[in-house]
Structure formats: C-alpha cells, structure tokens
C-alpha cells in the first residue's frame, strides 16, 4: 500500500519516485507554470465546466431531468473527475483549504447520483437514456471511471483518504470488478484508461483485486471484442493482442494510456516479458512515429499514429493529451528500468507540447499542436466554446476539453517527475530550481534553465556519502560537471556529502537539426533547437505582409543565439504567377537575405494571429 504523494507509485523497480512534498519547485520555468495552474488554470476549468453544464449534469441526474438537460459529450463526466484530480494534487501541494472544500462539494454532488451497486454515469441508464453498457466502442463508461478513480488516488496520496470521492471511487472499482471480472462480462472499453487507474488504485489501497482486473482488461484486447470501424480496430487497440504489437498504433492517447497500464501491471506482477513488450512499443514509437517536439499522432481524422516516418508538419495532430501520455509512459519506464535517459523524452514533451498548449495567462489552450500554421489564425473569443481541433489560436474551452484538465493535473504534479531515489543516492532527471529533502539527503538546485545552461547543486544534508546521478541530455554534447567533460547519457558523482557543490553546465548554443531522410514530408528542410527547446519562425517577426510559407533559410550562414531563441540568415522567395504550378525549370527567385528570428515553439501564438513553421526550407 502506497499513500505517499507521488503521481506514480510502483511497489518495486530500479528507481523509486520522490514524493511531491519532499521536492519543491522554487520558481523558474516550471514554478511559474505551477503557480499559473493554481491561480488561473484550475479556476478557469471549474468556471467552464460549470458554464458548459458538465457539473450541472450531476444535479439533473439526481433530479431525474438529465435526459432533457444533459450537456457535453458522452465523456463529459470524465473531465469533471480529471479536474477534481488536479484540484486534489494542488490542494495537497499548497494546503489550500478552499480548494479542499470545493473537492468535497463536488464529491458530494457526484455521490448523490451513484447507484446502489456502484454504477455512475450521467449519459446512460437514467430515464430516457440508453441502458448501461450498451456501447463499449464509444460510450466511455469505463473510461470515465478511470479518471474518477485517479482522482481518488490523488486524495489518498495527499492525506485525504476520508474524502467522499474516495468512497465513491471505491464503490465504482468494486462494481467494475464484480461486473467485468473473470467469467463475468468479458468486455473492454473503447478508450483505455480504466486499466492504468485500477493499477494505481491497487497500489494506493493495497487491494490486489484491482490490479488483477487491470491485467484482465489488457489481456482481453486484440480479440475482436469491439466492433470494426472505418479506421479499423487498431483505432482502439483491439486489432491484435497487446503482447503481439511491435509499435504503438491507433488513437495516440488510447495507446499511451494502455501502455502506461501495461507497465504498471508488469511491474506489480513481476512480468518481465510484458514490461519488455511495452518498452519495445514505446521505443519504436519514439524512433519512428514521434515529432521533433515530442508530439505523437499524425492523423487528424482518427487522432492516431501514422505509419513509420509519416510525420507531416502541417497535418501534425500532436494532441496535448498524447504529449502527457508520453510523459506517463516514459516516467514509468524510467522507474522500472532505471534508465534515466527516458528523461529526454519527458523533457521534450514537457517543454514543447505541454508548455505549448497553455496560453501565457492560463485562459486558453491548444488541443492539437501543429508544426506548421499556413494561414493566420482567427482570434478565439474568450466566452465561446469551440470544436476541439478547429481553434486556430488557443481557445478558452472545447466541446472536447480533455486537454485543459490534463494540463492542470500534470502541472500540479510536476515536482514528482524531477528526480528519483536510487539504491545509492539520488538521480536528477529534470533541471529546475528546487529544494529536495529525502531520506537524509538534502539538495538545493539553482538554475535559470532552460534559458541558461548552468545548474548549481548544493548538498545541504547527507546522512552518509551518496551517489548523485545526473541526466546529460542527448543534445548536450560538450556538457561539463565541475569542469569535467560529461558525455550525453548518465553522469555519476560518487562520495557526495554535505557541503559539496556541483556545477553542471549544459551548452545552450542554438543548433541545426536535419530530419531522417525517410520523413519524406520534410526533406530539404532544417529545424533549430536550443537546449531542450524547439524553435520556430513566426510571421509576426518577418517583414510586413510576409508569411512563413514564403521563407527559405541558409543553413550555411551564421546561426546565433538571440533572446530566448536564435537568428538564422533567410530570404523571401518570389514566385511568378502562372496558370499551371509545374514547370521544367524552377519558378521561384530568392530575395535579399535578412536575419530570421526564431522563437521557442512553446511561446508561439501569444502575440496574435500568425503563420508559423518549425521545419524551414533550405534555399
């Protein structure tokens, strides 16, 4: 049974997580976003879930009027639960009594509509609605339960096991085991999520029945339990048994949630084969099906992975929830295997997908994260709910608003992904200004990363000498630790004790990146990165009237740092208008060269409508 405040709590593994009350983010890039989450994002989500009627659905269900008044998609309940989870982690982090009381208010509202047998849903099984469990493909009943259970896990681990939401979730979990256990209703949900929630609930409560049920759900996939659809059963990972798959397929978020669950089950049951299968699928997806931003999902029609190296920048979907799902998988693999280089994938997704999603004021979000915006966006009105992927600027709310609440719960638990406990000390996985105090080891980390490359680590306490392990990012050729060369990968300092000071220097000069030749959509282009940040060109920085579609760059020219980004020589192309866009000779002429400013991708679209691109055509 694990009740320490950590987002993921394996009972075994090479590394162990550090509780978020033992490692505090002291400002900086991520500290600012944690504060933004508390001050703006969580209140914004609650305001919109109330305005959109998703909270009120529970009131109408209790009153028997839900058929006439229900608002939102079939999975709207899940976003209320996800918001409660974010609130729970934030209340545990900040000891916010008002937030704690709000959780209990919402929990009491939800409990009032729960059936005697534990069933709970505002879209099914109420007067005038379809009966329960009649639409496993699209109904999301089990998916909703998953997010409810994860909210309960957050309450348990932040010291509120007496919370009403824990009681509700326990009854739900018991209902799931009774209804879908071995020999009962052997079905699966079209959207994986219940699996990872049950595995974590087993860890939080010590009840092994929940782990066994999670395992059953995973093993049932791939046996045609869900109806075939136009995109095939791979959409919801029912096309082949999980253990037979070589790479992540189908709907990206579903695949990543399922893989997170597979890792949890493998770790708890000591299933070495299953762990290796999950690792293989994720590693292959990183190598072949992931954008430079860490984004996953190249299909808009089904929010899905494409084939290997099918990564078109202007059609990239890169759902924010998929970026968070990638963090979930990579962190679990890091703990299970001890390979802290999975921190590279976490870092890339956090800085370039999760941070990109949220507007600077916390009042707008990207659902999908394109790498090339061809036309200037339209301003999203602050009081209008929009379709999920059709907002061209960050929108305040979506018909499908899984992403804002997912960002909220991630920001609230960020400290839990920064470091891990090793058998002989502590491993720093991400770099942020932090204060750490765990098992007699105290660290004070001071840094302005990712905008500056110096990371100063002071050992404030050590019961005995220990090993300090540092992740050196794969991009950080030329890094040093106390003046000594540190190759990308893992750097170990042995015999570290109280009073020691360690200086890690990561080179932050901008660098050109060229794509694998098999990514045909971006042959003949380059991208620029600086530290962990992917940079982009935004039309607000180009000559008046110019879009990024007219831009070419000279990779042989001087690339230099500029502000938080870089500048690179480039030019505008002029194309002669004709009745036919194909000819034997090139039709474009390159204009006068000028310095092209490149800004961090996470900051784009905060200055109004613009065109934007990450991959820049070479002149």
Nearest CA to 239 out of 230, 252, 251, 226 is that of 226
What does the pLDDT read at residue 390? 61
Q: What is the pLDDT of residue 147?
A: 98
φ, ψ (nearest 5 deg) of residue 203: -65, -40
What's the chain's average pLDDT?
Answer: 96
Radius of gyration for the alpha carbons in the chain, expressed in angstroms and rounded: 24
How many angstroms from the chain centroid is the CA of residue 592? 41
Please tell me the predicted confidence (pLDDT) of residue 382.
87
pLDDT of residue 1: 56
613 within 8 A of 551, measured Cβ to Cβ = yes
Pick the CATH number of 16-417 from 2.40.128, 1.10.3210, 3.30.70, 1.50.10: 1.50.10
110: left (phi over 0), alpha (psi -120 to 50) or beta: alpha
Asked if pLDDT for residue 2 goes beyond 90, the answer is no
SS (H, E, C) 356-417: HHECCCCCCECCCCCCEECCCCCCCCCCCEECCCCCCCCECEECCCHHHHHHHHHHHCHHHH
CA 196 – CA 100 distance, rounded (Å): 25
The kind and range of the H/E element at 207 are none
**Can the peptide bond before residue 450 be classed as cis, meaning omega within 30 degrees of 0?**
yes
Percent of the chain beyond pLDDT 90? 93
Split at pLDDT 50, 70, 90, the class of 346 is very high
Residue 391 has pLDDT above 90, yes or no: no
Give the domain ranges of the chain. Answer: 16-417, 419-505, 511-617
Query: Higher pLDDT residue, 591 or 208?
Result: 208
CB contact set of 583 (below 8 Å; sequence gap of 6+): none
End-to-end CA, the chain: 60
On whether the pTM is more than 0.95, the answer is yes
**Integer CA distances (angstroms), 493 to 18, 48, 417, 468, 476, in order:** 20, 49, 21, 5, 18
The helix or strand, by DSSP H or E, that contains position 58, with its residue range, turns out to be: helix 56-63
Burial label for 246, CB within 10 Å (0-12, 13-18, 19+), is exposed
- For residue 206, pLDDT over 70 is answered with yes
Whether residue 208 is predicted with pLDDT greater than 90 in this model: the reply is yes
CA distance 308 to 310: 6
Mean pLDDT for 297-315 is 96
Strands 385-386 and 397-398: parallel
Burial of 43 (0-12, 13-18, 19+ CB in 10 A): middle
pLDDT of 392 over the 80 cut:
no
Sign of the four-CA dihedral 112, 114, 117, 123: positive
Total residue length of the chain: 619
DSSP code for 236: G
Q: What is the mean pLDDT of residues 72-93?
A: 97
Confidence band of 45 (pLDDT split at 50, 70, 90): very high
pLDDT (average), residues 502-528: 98
What would the pLDDT profile of 130-150 be if each residue is shown by its tens digit?
A: 999 999 999 999 999 999 999
Asked if the model's pLDDT at residue 95 lies above 70, the reply is yes
What pLDDT is stored for residue 589 in this prediction? 87
The pLDDT confidence band at residue 167, using thresholds 50, 70 and 90, is very high
Nearest to residue 150, comparing CAs of 198, 111, 87, 189? 198
Exposure string over 178-201, b if 16+ CB within 10 A, otherwise e: ebbeeeeeeebbbbbbbbbbbbbb
């Amino acid at each position: 049974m694990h009740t320490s405040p950590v987002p993921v709590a394996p009972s075994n593994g090479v590394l162990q997580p550090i509780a978020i009350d033992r490692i505090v983010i002291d400002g900086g890039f991520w500290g600012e976003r944690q504060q933004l989450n508390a001050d703006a994002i969580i209140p914004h989500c609650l305001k919109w879930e109330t305005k959109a009627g998703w909270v009120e659905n529970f009131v109408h269900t209790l009153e028997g009027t839900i058929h006439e008044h229900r608002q939102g998609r079939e999975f709207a309940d899940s976003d209320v639960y996800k918001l409660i989870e974010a609130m729970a982690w934030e209340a545990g982090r900040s000891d916010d009594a008002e937030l704690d009381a709000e959780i209990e208010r919402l929990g009491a509202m939800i409990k009032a509509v729960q059936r005697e047998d534990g069933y709970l849903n505002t879209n099914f099984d109420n007067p005038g609605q379809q009966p329960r469990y009649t639409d496993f493909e699209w109904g999301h009943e089990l998916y909703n339960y998953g997010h409810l259970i994860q909210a309960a896990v957050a309450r348990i681990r932040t010291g509120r096991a007496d919370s009403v939401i824990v009681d509700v979730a326990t009854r739900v979990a018991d209902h799931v085991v009774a209804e879908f256990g071995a020999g009962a209703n052997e079905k699966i949900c079209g959207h994986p999520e219940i699996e990872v929630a049950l595995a974590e609930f087993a860890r939080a409560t010590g009840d092994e029945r929940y782990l066994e049920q999670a395992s059953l759900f995973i093993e049932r996939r791939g046996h045609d339990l869900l109806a075939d659809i136009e995109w095939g059963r791979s959409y919801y990972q029912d096309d082949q048994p999980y253990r037979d798959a070589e790479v992540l397929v189908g709907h990206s978020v579903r695949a990543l949630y399922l893989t997170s669950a597979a890792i949890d089950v493998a770790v708890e049951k000591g299933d070495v084969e299953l762990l290796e299968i999950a690792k293989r699928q994720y590693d292959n997806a990183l190598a072949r099906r992931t954008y430079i931003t860490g984004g996953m999902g190249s299909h808009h029609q089904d929010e899905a992975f494409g084939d290997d190296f099918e990564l078109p920048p202007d059609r990239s979907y890169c759902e924010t929830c998929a970026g968070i799902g990638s963090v979930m998988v990579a962190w679990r693999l890091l703990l299970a295997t001890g390979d802290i280089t999975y921190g590279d994938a976490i870092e890339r997704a956090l800085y370039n997908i999760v941070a990109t999603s949220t507007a600077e004021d916390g009042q707008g979000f990207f659902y999908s994260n394109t790498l090339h915006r061809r036309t200037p966006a339209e301003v999203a009105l602050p009081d209008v709910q929009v379709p999920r992927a059709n907002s061209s600027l960050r929108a305040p709310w979506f018909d499908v608003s899984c992403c804002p609440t997912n960002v909220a719960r991630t920001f609230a638990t960020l400290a839990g992904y920064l470091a891990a406990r090793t058998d002989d000390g502590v491993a720093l996985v991400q770099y942020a200004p932090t204060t750490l105090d765990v098992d007699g080891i105290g660290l004070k980390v001071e840094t302005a990363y990712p905008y500056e490359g110096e990371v100063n680590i002071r050992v404030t306490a050590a019961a005995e000498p220990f090993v300090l392990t540092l992740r050196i990012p794969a991009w950080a050729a030329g890094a040093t630790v106390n003046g000594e060369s540190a190759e990308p990968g893992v750097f170990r300092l042995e015999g570290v004790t109280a009073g020691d000071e360690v200086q890690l220097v990561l080179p932050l000069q901008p660098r050109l990146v060229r794509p694998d030749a098999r990514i045909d959509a971006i042959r003949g282009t380059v991208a620029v990165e600086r530290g962990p940040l992917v940079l982009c060109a935004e039309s607000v920085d180009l000559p008046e009237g110019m879009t990024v579609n007219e831009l070419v760059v000279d990779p042989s020219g001087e690339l230099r740092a500029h502000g938080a980004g870089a500048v690179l020589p480039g030019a505008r192309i002029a194309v002669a208008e004709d009745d036919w866009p194909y000819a034997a000779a090139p039709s474009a002429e390159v204009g006068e060269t000028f310095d092209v400013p490149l800004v961090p991708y996470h900051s784009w679209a905060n200055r109004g409508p613009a065109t934007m691109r990450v991959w820049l055509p070479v002149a």
